[in-house]
Chains A and B, each alone.
Chain A
Amino acid sequence: MSGPHGFSVQRYAPERGTLAKLTARDSVLRRLDWPLLWSSLALSVIGALLVWSATRTRDQLNQGDPEYFLWRHILNTGIGLALMIGTIWLGHRTLRGAVPVLYGLSVVLVLLVLTPLGATINGAHAWIVIGGGFSLQPSEFTKITIILIMAVLLAARVDAGDQEHPDHSTVVKALCLAVVPIVVIMLMPDLGSVMVIAVIILGVLLTSGASNRWVLGLIGTGAVGAVVVWQLGVLDEYQINRFAAFANPELDPAGVGYNTNQARIAIGSGGLTGTGLFKGSQTTGQFVPEQQTDFVFTVAGEELGFLGAGLILLLLGVVLWRACRIARETTELYGTIVAGGIIAWFAFQSFENIGMTLGIMPVAGLPLPFVSYGGSSMFAVWVAIGLLQSIRVQRPMSA
């Protein structure tokens, strides 16, 4: 770690007793963004219930224990919380020094997927099986490391006061670093993650203050890239099918369009108040595939109705609102970019995930932050919350 900005909380605050530290006016606890924490936690708890409901009748999945996924989700949330606390404790600025290492580590992990250690789940070769029922999805962590490495690069000269905005060569360097994992993830192929990372890069570039040409250029590249990918047939058939089913769900209601159709039926049948937890026939009947992960929102739609599903949207809104506030209130560009990347990530991933269950987005295998079952995703979003909290905690006191 080098440079003048490598502060840690301990070094920054005067030495005090533990209790005094926590209750002091400028203490970490007081400076935490509580609405952000509570709404993230609420989403995770709701997620636990929905995952429980979706899996309690799936005997082949839950190994005969209806609460298996409930406890696993709670455990994941707990680990996520611990990771958040660790991140706050370390602080995003301290992490800054470790970012190249973390980035390198994530690229290695992503590459490992392509080795025989990798496993294919649902058509995407995106997993590393650790054993003992655990598996890792490295692309989730890549989302964080890409944000961090780009933020470090783009903000360095600006935060040092050398430049007003990052110059072209910095942007090129940052983009090059981002492209490496993207290519690997594309090879898996994990299209959903590629899309999210593309949007993250857009968010990062926007908040970094990079010139409009870069932003427009990136959007243009994305569009051209999509066409090229389509034309070259890089996509597997199942991915094309998902898009076709999105365009016309009635195409093949028993095949490709089945997911979308059943998801829409589940949500549509919920009405205002839903059928009540565990009482949804679509959910209990397991008509919606991947309901504990990618299609978890349909459980909310059916069993909790418009009010419950709306609450999830509201909580996501609170998380994003707080994140935007944090991005706006911090004075250092590094923090702004990190927050901007996280906002782009959460916003797009939530929109894509919920949008596909509502039939306004094509199906892509992406979890709903906090709510979907899945350790890697859960850990990643909580680390992101930790980063946001750290940015808030370490912002200068407005005095």
Chain B
Amino acid sequence: MSNIPETGRTPRVQIRLIIIQVLVFSLLLTLGGRLWYLQIRNGDEYTAEAAGNGVQQVVQPAVRGSILDARGVPLADNETRLVVSASRTELMKMKDDGKGVLARLAGVLGLKPKEVADKVRLCDSETPQPCWNGSPYQPIPVTDEATTKQALQIRERAEDFPGITAEPTAVRRYTAPGKARTSQVLGYLSPVTDEEIEKAKDGPSPYLRSDMVGRSGLERTYDKELRGKAGVTRYEVDNLGRVMGEAENDPTVPGSNVVTSLDARVQAVAEYELHQAMKTVRKETDKITGRPYEADSGAVVVMESKTGRVISMASQPDYDPNAWVGGISGKEYARLTGKNSNYPLLNRAIQGQAPAGSVFKVVSASAAVRGGHPFDGRYNCSSSYSMGGRSFANFESKGHGPITLGDALKFSCNTVFYRLGHEEWQRDGGIKPKKGAHDWFYRTARDFGFGGETGIDLPNEVKGRIPDRRWKQDFWKANKDAWCKQGKKGGTYVEQIAYESCLEGNQLKAFDSINFAIGQGDVLITPVQLATAYAAISNGGTLFKPTVGKAVISPDGKRIEEIEPRADGKLPVDAETISDLDKGLRSVVEPGGTAAWRFGGWPQDKIPMRAKTGTAQVYGKQTTSWFATYTDDYTIVMTISQGGTGSGASGPAVRNIYDALYGVSDDGDINPKKALLPKPQKDLPKISRDGSIEAPEIRPYVPEKPKDPAADQQIAIGRSGD
């Protein structure tokens, strides 16, 4: 039926057709194999990549919790401000790196173009402040003080300001209620750095790029609680970033509020009085140097004796913590970190250390008791003590004859403790300590909490120093080479000292022990250590870990985590000795005692006051004033560097703080209505149903009119050695 020729089907074509078929199917098999490899073998890898492809995160920063005082008065809270920010990533996309936009922005904000440009540059080792040390991907705040008009200008002309946003934002505010700045205790915030983000990435509380992080003070210690959790809305987006839907979301969790044991009113009093005391003493002339007192820095700690809770903590010089809000200016930063302003960022209550002077004598008296010397024994308070041809004088070279240790505290008799210190040193074997040497003085100092951190809930506390045999050895090892290089036999005074130190600087000498017994020499203590130790004497022997934080309250007020006072140890002496010490310290404010002239008219029968004065010598500087006091409820410690004597410089200020606490007037009347805090605040502030915390109104501290200078003179007659 077909007329199609049976040609064309040669074997050559037939074979080639088979080859083609084989080729075709091997191509298809190749595709199949590759498909399997991508989808089945490596599928998970690509699934993960696809998941990350189309998700954009929008971060809503959590509102940081407030820091409140014991009655609920906010010390740090937030306010809404108009923040103008610049996105570096957007600016860098422009041809001129955004210079034009920033210049226009500077025009609107009334700033110099350079100021704005400096704020958005990134910090590195060669870039001085101001610069941005947060993440370069986070919008950088240019100002948080934009007016509504400026913000509107920026928003309405969005095309002129690409990459610039102006939005109301919750900004940290340090309220300084009643003028209580509380600077160093509150601390400050600054933007999170890339390293911190990286480090905390896999931890339980990772950072977001927008986070501000507490850098010091309570802001740092309670950073995690205060910070809350930023909300993250994850949008599924397409390749152009258009939103297609919402993926998994993390809701914003506002930060918790931290209630502290601080009392803003007492804090205001303490700050004012410390500042005032330093101002006053600068007008006085130092008899030793013949110059007015420098009073370069000072600190005061008011602590609850029975719990270790800090009611007030002030450090001078201080600063306005609001300077950090919204990016610190270059000038301000230089001022805060410069030598000229004497480092106001330091919290000298926990970071300032100085030789203790006579406030240390409670340690020495306890050490003597531990060494077997009865408290009520008789010890010769001679006008001077001789050792190896050297004479160590009493304060103002005054003698009191044989007295008890209690009286030695009362008169602050140095010679009694010189002798005890020297004898103990000899008993321990002197320069070559015998096996099992007690080293009671050094050991007792450590047992009182000196030479170590108190563990207060504030960062970067310093340890102070107890110059025992071990320390001597370590210190010598570290400095030996320098000393040996510098030292010269029979050279200048400094060279001679270096020469001697090179040879035997590792030995604990009799001289060291004599000095140590009155808190002089290489010993260094911090105000908070001293407060903790004296509070322990007040409460019967418990050394507390001082705390500023009292409770963490969730934003809805439903979850309250109280921060209980925690005992950190016991004083190393029995109850009887503590009671003896207490009596001795009580006699210090009674007639004849070194602080009596500062407590004239104090209702000692109603509110028994104990005190110890201290005047510590510092090589090359004026003396440091120490004043450690306590009642049954409160312990107050004040120190003024280069401020003269303990009672002289710090006395009136401490007295005024007590007056304010108890409502005591100069003539000794107690007016409960005027008393700020006659008993420590036990309860937490009242929390409303919506979680807000009620805050009582606060009136600024009005110091009493200065006393009649003549009357002051009269009381001063009773003044004794420090």
A contacts, CB < 8 Å to B: 4-5, 57, 155, 158-161, 164-165, 203, 206-209, 262, 264-272, 281-282, 284-287, 301-302, 305-306, 309-310, 313, 316-317, 320-321, 324, 327-328, 331-334, 336, 340, 343-344, 347-348, 350-351, 354-355, 358-360, 396-397, 399
Contact = CB atoms under 8 A, between A and B. Distances in A.
B338 interface: no
B7 A285 contact: no
Given A269-B51, A271-B39, 6 more contacts: A5-B4, A268-B38, A269-B46, A285-B53, A333-B7, A351-B27
Contact of A161 (B5, B36, B39): B5
Q: Which of B2, B13, B43 has the most CB of A within 10 A?
A: B13
A399 B35 CA distance: 43
Nearest to A358: B34
A159 to B, nearest CB: 6
B49 A332 contact: no
A284 B53 CA distance: 12
Q: How large is the interface on B (under 10, 10 to 19, 20 to 34, 35 or more residues)?
A: 35 or more
B450 to A, nearest CB: 61
A285 B236 contact: yes
A158 B8 contact: yes
Contacts of A336: 8-9, 13, 17
Given A268-B42, A270-B43, A347-B24, A282 B17 contact: no
Q: Which of B1, B38, B42 has the most CB of A within 10 A?
A: B38
A209 B16 contact: yes
Interface string B1-31: 1111111111011101101110111011011
A317 B28 contact: yes
A207 B13 CA distance: 5
B238 interface: yes
A282 B9 CA distance: 50
B13 A306 contact: no
A320 B21 CA distance: 8
Given A287-B238, A328-B17, A306 B36 contact: yes
B50 interface: yes
Contact of B20 (A281, A302, A340): A340
Q: Which of B8, B31, B40 has the most CB of A within 10 A?
A: B8
B717 interface: no
Interface string B35-61: 110111011011101110110000000
Given A206-B16, A396-B1, A396-B2, A268 B46 contact: yes
A397 B1 contact: yes
A233 to B, nearest CB: 31
B35 A313 contact: yes
3 smallest A-B Cβ distances: which pairs?
A268-B46, A333-B8, A269-B50
Contacts of A399: 1
Contacts of A160: 5
Nearest to A4: B3
Given A284-B238, A331-B6, A324 B20 contact: yes
Interface in B192-239: 236-239
Contacts of A155: 8
A269 B47 contact: yes
B54 A344 contact: no
Interface of B: 1-10, 12-14, 16-17, 19-21, 23-25, 27-28, 30-32, 34-36, 38-40, 42-43, 45-47, 49-51, 53-54, 236-240, 244
B30 A360 contact: yes
30 contacts: A57-B238, A160-B5, A206-B19, A208-B13, A209-B16, A268-B43, A268-B46, A270-B43, A271-B43, A285-B236, A287-B53, A287-B238, A287-B239, A301-B38, A302-B50, A306-B35, A309-B39, A324-B17, A324-B20, A327-B20, A328-B14, A331-B9, A332-B4, A332-B5, A336-B9, A343-B24, A351-B31, A358-B35, A396-B1, A396-B2
A219 to B, nearest CB: 13
Given A284-B244, A287-B54, A267 B38 contact: yes
B53 A282 contact: yes
B13 A209 contact: yes
A272 B17 contact: no
Contact of A165 (B4, B10, B25, B32): B10
Contacts of B23: 347
A343 B5 contact: no
Contact of B50 (A165, A281, A327, A396): A281
Nearest to B31: A354
Contact of B40 (A208, A306, A340, A348): A306
Contacts of B5: 159-161, 332
Nearest to B24: A347
Contacts of A264: 38, 46
A161 B12 CA distance: 16
A281 B53 contact: yes
B36 to A, nearest CB: 7
B49 A268 contact: yes
B34 A286 contact: no
A15 to B, nearest CB: 16
Contacts of A360: 30, 34
Contacts of A57: 238, 244
A83 B541 CA distance: 105
A306 B35 CA distance: 7
Contacts of B244: 57, 284-285
B240 A165 contact: no
A305 B39 contact: yes
A332 to B, nearest CB: 6
B38 A358 contact: yes
Contacts of A328: 14, 17
A348 B28 CA distance: 10
Contacts of B27: 347-348, 350-351
Contacts of B9: 331, 333, 336
Contacts of B12: 165, 209
A5 B240 CA distance: 59
Given A158-B8, A164-B10, A264-B46, A203 B238 contact: no
A272 B8 contact: no
A265 B39 contact: no
A268 B28 contact: no
A265 B239 contact: no
B39 A268 contact: yes
Contacts of A397: 1-2
B577 to A, nearest CB: 76
Nearest to A354: B31
B12 to A, nearest CB: 5
A160 B24 CA distance: 30
Contacts of B21: 321, 324
B46 A267 contact: yes
Contact of B4 (A269, A321, A396): A396
Nearest to B36: A306
A340 to B, nearest CB: 7
A275 to B, nearest CB: 9
Contact of A282 (B1, B2, B13, B50): B50
A334 B657 CA distance: 115
B17 A268 contact: no
A266 B35 CA distance: 12
B7 A161 contact: yes
Contacts of A327: 17, 20
B8 A267 contact: no
B46 A265 contact: yes
A42 to B, nearest CB: 16
A198 to B, nearest CB: 15
A350 B42 CA distance: 23
Contacts of B7: 158-159, 161, 164, 333
